[in-house]
Structure 1
Amino acid sequence: MCGRFAVTLPQDAMAQLFEARPANDLPEVPNYNVCPTNPVHVIHLGEAGRQLESMRWGFIPHWYKAPNDGPLLINARAETLAEKPAFRAAARSRRALIPATGFYEWTKDAEGVRYPWYITRQDGAPLAFAALWQDWEAEGQHLRTAAIVTCAANEQMGRIHHRMPVVLAPEDWALWLGEEGKGAAPLMRPAPEETLTAHRVDRKVNSNRAAGPELIEPIED
């Protein structure tokens, strides 16, 4: 799964990397502790091509009468999103990318103590998570929302957690966004082994109020 991540890429660099037109209300960067329901950077196709916008991390199905009217859908399972009522329409026509510098995952010891890991690309390049987005409106309230697509972990990441976000290579961005026609389903797979690297970080990131670059600094196991 993906329940917390960091984004440090400047907004202008983000727009240039993804060749997207940026909105004026993008979330502030750097943010070393992006949490569910926070605004996140999302690249999607608009009328004028790729758009870089702010969306709420937490997909809200159209039938919710309020944002908290059901489970908080921060992730969409790749194996079932084409059939799930909440995601199937978005999987066909509202696919997106969510940029990140790295993401966090946790392991537990025999006593149930949670130990955080920070996971990045080995080559230092930004991550691009496969995502879905949805407009939601009720009683005059309008939100644009998104969820990160996850898949079974590869062997390397499986040592930490059994799920991982779908990380898309740059050559796959256009197909996922729908710019190169259909056939994006095969992209929903684990990243190749050795694409990512992980290191332990301080347990202070267990708090959603923690902030600062020290959250991603490696510590001794």
Structure 2
Amino acid sequence: MCGRMAITLPHEAVVEMFGAVPANDLPDTPNYNVCPTVNVPVVTSDDGVRRLRPMRWGFIPHWYKKPNGGPLLINARAETIAEKPAFRAACRERRCLLPVTGFYEWYRDGDAKPLPWFIQRQDGEPLVMAGIWQDWEQDGAVISTCAIVTTGANEAMARIHHRIPVILTAEDWPLWLGEAGKGASKIMKSAPEDALLFHRVGTEVNSNRAAGATLLDPIA
């Protein structure tokens, strides 16, 4: 599961990291509280040319009559992505990468108030999540949309939540983007146990209106 994230990377750094051509209308960064339905910077590959583009986080199936015409699809399960009508074509033809600083997850213990955690890479490098995308069109309006691919949590993540985004290393990027042939299904797996760093953050992030770098500050 991934329902909130932080994106603090300058676009110039992302462009250099992926060798991508940037769009002119990328969303502002840093954003320490990225919520569903907002635009996020996404890396795609078109005929071998990587592009950094803005996309709405919240995949819109082609049969929706309006953007909110059905459930909000921010995640796609790796186990069923190839069969689900909403996702199967995108899984084959339109895969993307979402480079972020990290993501938030909430630990729920019975009826107690959910407690937010921030998850990032252990080595401090950008965390690159697997995604799928498609353009949704209605009455001449086109919205580029995306969803994050998730899988079963590794043991470390399972202490907080049973799902985790599919996190890809640089070696995996060409295969996921379709630049290195077929076989992307084999990299839809959980991150190694030692790959991620977890820390508790304040409940301020429970509000989608919260902002600022202090949202990432660890608490005891």
Question: Which bin holds the TM-score, normalised by the shorter protein?
Answer: over 0.9
* Structure 2 SS opposite 1:6: strand
Where does residue 213 of structure 1 map in the other structure?
213
How far apart are the structure 2 equivalents of 1:181 and 1:189?
18
Establish whether residue 132 from structure 1 lines up as the match of residue 145 from structure 2.
Answer: no
**Residue 139 of structure 1, CA deviation:** 1.7
**Residue 110 of structure 1, CA deviation:** 4.0
How far apart are the structure 2 equivalents of 1:209 and 1:75?
21
* Structure 2 SS opposite 1:29: coil
* Structure 1 SS opposite 2:81: coil
Question: Normalization by structure 2: what TM-score?
Answer: 0.98
How far apart are the structure 1 equivalents of 2:48 and 2:155?
40
How far apart are the structure 1 equivalents of 2:61 and 2:112?
33
The 5-angstrom pairing of residues 62-211 of structure 1 reads 62-211=62-211
| Alignment coverage as a number of residue pairs | 220
**Residue 112 of structure 1, CA deviation:** 2.8
How far apart are the structure 1 equivalents of 2:12 and 2:55?
18
User: Root-mean-square deviation (CA), in Å?
Assistant: 0.9
How far apart are the structure 2 equivalents of 1:47 and 1:114?
44
* Structure 1 SS opposite 2:15: helix
The amino acid of 1:77's aligned partner reads R
Establish whether residue 7 from structure 1 lines up as the match of residue 7 from structure 2.
Answer: yes
Establish whether residue 59 from structure 1 lines up as the match of residue 59 from structure 2.
Answer: yes
Q: Is the 8 A contact 2:121 2:127 kept in 1?
A: yes
**Residue 48 of structure 1, CA deviation:** 6.2
* Structure 2 SS opposite 1:129: strand
**Residue 73 of structure 1, CA deviation:** 0.3
Distance change in 2, residues 1:48/1:187 (3 Å)? closer
How far apart are the structure 1 equivalents of 2:157 and 2:10?
27
The amino acid of 2:168's aligned partner reads L
Unpaired runs of at least 5, structure 2: none
How far apart are the structure 2 equivalents of 1:111 and 1:80?
30
How far apart are the structure 2 equivalents of 1:109 and 1:90?
35
* Structure 1 SS opposite 2:205: helix
* Structure 1 SS opposite 2:25: coil
How far apart are the structure 1 equivalents of 2:104 and 2:192?
19
How far apart are the structure 1 equivalents of 2:6 and 2:129?
12
Unpaired runs of at least 5, structure 1: none
Q: Is the 8 A contact 2:95 2:130 kept in 1?
A: yes
The amino acid of 1:161's aligned partner reads H
How far apart are the structure 2 equivalents of 1:168 and 1:41?
16
**Residue 170 of structure 1, CA deviation:** 0.7
The amino acid of 1:70's aligned partner reads G
How far apart are the structure 2 equivalents of 1:180 and 1:74?
26
Mean CA deviation greater in 104-113 or 9-18: 104-113
Q: Is the 8 A contact 2:48 2:179 kept in 1?
A: no
Percent sequence identity over matched residues? Answer: 63
Q: Is the 8 A contact 2:32 2:213 kept in 1?
A: yes
**Residue 47 of structure 1, CA deviation:** 4.3
C-alpha distance after superposition, 1:3-48 (max 9, x if no partner): 0000111000011111111001001010000000010010001246
